Amino acid sequence: MDENESNQSLMTSSQYPKEAVRKRQNSARNSRGSDSSRFSRKSFKLDYRLEEDVTKSKKGKDGRFVNPWPTWKNLSIPNVLRWLIMEKDHSGVPSSKELSKRKTSQESLDLAMKMPRDTGYCPAFEEIGKRFGPFDLAAIPIGAYEPRWFMKYQHVDPEEAVRIHIDVQTKKSMAIHWGTFALANEHYLEPPVKLNEALERYGLNAEDFFVLKHGESRYLNTDDENF
């Protein structure tokens, strides 16, 4: 998939979400084929050459590994400072007063610079879905996404999380990476709300992409035909 096709795919998904879902579902059904082909998929051993096409590492001029996707951008100290100084923190995560007293601006700058580069949206997810999908279950992050100008390279927002759910052709997704640490500026309880809004826009059921309460466990029956 070249860059123009990738951009067209992203544009279609954002403008016509429900149509994009139907297209991906039809594609997934066609890829499953007959019962015999489904059985062969279960016993399929991954060809490392196929895997390498999607996961092949790249190095920069300095010999260090780099992110190969055009949607990636390295963090810079000026942008980190702009985020810390100019952007208002709406996270509201309950914190210990003692920890708050010990926290310094230098410590804030150091979390920021070591922020885990978790999951930014890119065409790789659609390629993974086409090559290795469909999947039974995916764990997809939905939090730490505001402000978008700064966070979009490392963290997806809830709508992009839904698009990943569609791209990788997973039957169920579990929301992760939200409401625990103050990593970004959105309110810590906002991600599940935004997720449900995105699922509705894409015509998906909330049970297809569910959110667990803190401490909750859930049994998923793989024998269920809807799983």
pLDDT band at 50 (very low <50, low <70, confident <90, very high): low
For residue 76, tell me if it sits in a domain: yes
Domain count for the chain: 1
> Beta-carbon neighbour count of residue 196 at 10 Å?
15
Domain of residue 1: give its range.
Answer: 1-33+43-227
For residue 64, tell me if it sits in a domain: yes
For residue 38, tell me if it sits in a domain: no
Quick: pLDDT tens for 194-220.
999 999 999 999 999 999 987 888 888
Please report the pLDDT score of residue 103 as a whole number. 46
State yes or no: pLDDT of 30 exceeds 50.
Answer: yes
According to DSSP, the β-strands at 170-176 and 209-210 are parallel
Q: Is the peptide bond prior to 134 cis by the omega test (within 30 degrees of 0)?
A: yes
pTM, to two decimals: 0.67
